[in-house]
């Protein structure tokens, strides 16, 4: 107590700050979904333009660019991987908003994938810190329903 007022308990404050961190992580995940899906789509369209399948309608990397053997396939793979990663983030975001227990584990896996590049390493560490916190486990843990089938 301070000046006759009772301060909130430490666990309540941790819960409030944890909720703020989860909301911030969800906002960042949404923008990353948009970025990864857009970049993956653009890279794939460039590969289609190089393959000559678009008849000049698709964007090219550069007007004088001449792909080496295997470049098109690498661009297809990179674009598809980025689009898939963006869709995984969207699935995790939708499931985490419903507090499904498996979304916490998927968030941890996506956080580990962020360790690949130095640019996203802080985001991965932040996601792991929040999703591995004991209070987050309780938040995403669902009680079994009355019929015995849990989520």
> For the chain, how long is the longest CA-to-CA vector?
77
What is the reported pLDDT for 89?
94
Give the whole-angstrom CA distance, residue 116 versus residue 114.
5
Residues of the chain with pLDDT under 50: 1-2, 7, 143-151
pTM: 0.72
Write out the two tokens for 90.
Answer: 């969207």
Give the pLDDT confidence of 25-58 residue by residue, as tens digits. Answer: 999 999 999 999 999 999 988 888 775 655 555 5
Tell me the Cα Rg of the chain: 22
Is 105 strand, coil or helix? helix
Q: According to the model, what pLDDT value does residue 117 have? A: 87
Position 85 scores a pLDDT of 94
């Amino acid at each position: 107590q301070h000046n006759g007022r009772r301060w909130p308990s430490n666990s309540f404050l941790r819960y409030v700050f944890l909720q703020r961190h989860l909301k911030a992580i969800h906002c960042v995940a949404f923008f990353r979904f948009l970025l990864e899906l857009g970049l993956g789509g653009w890279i794939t369209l460039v590969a289609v333009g190089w393959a000559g399948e678009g008849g000049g309608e698709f964007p090219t990397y550069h007007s004088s660019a001449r792909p080496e053997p295997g470049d098109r396939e690498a661009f297809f793979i990179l674009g598809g991987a980025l689009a898939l990663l963006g869709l995984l983030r969207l699935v995790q975001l939708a499931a985490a908003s419903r507090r499904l227990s498996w979304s916490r584990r998927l968030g941890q896996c996506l956080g580990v994938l962020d360790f690949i590049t130095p640019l996203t390493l802080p985001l991965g560490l932040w996601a792991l810190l929040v999703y591995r916190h004991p209070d987050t486990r309780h938040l995403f843990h669902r009680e079994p329903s009355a019929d015995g089938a849990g989520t």
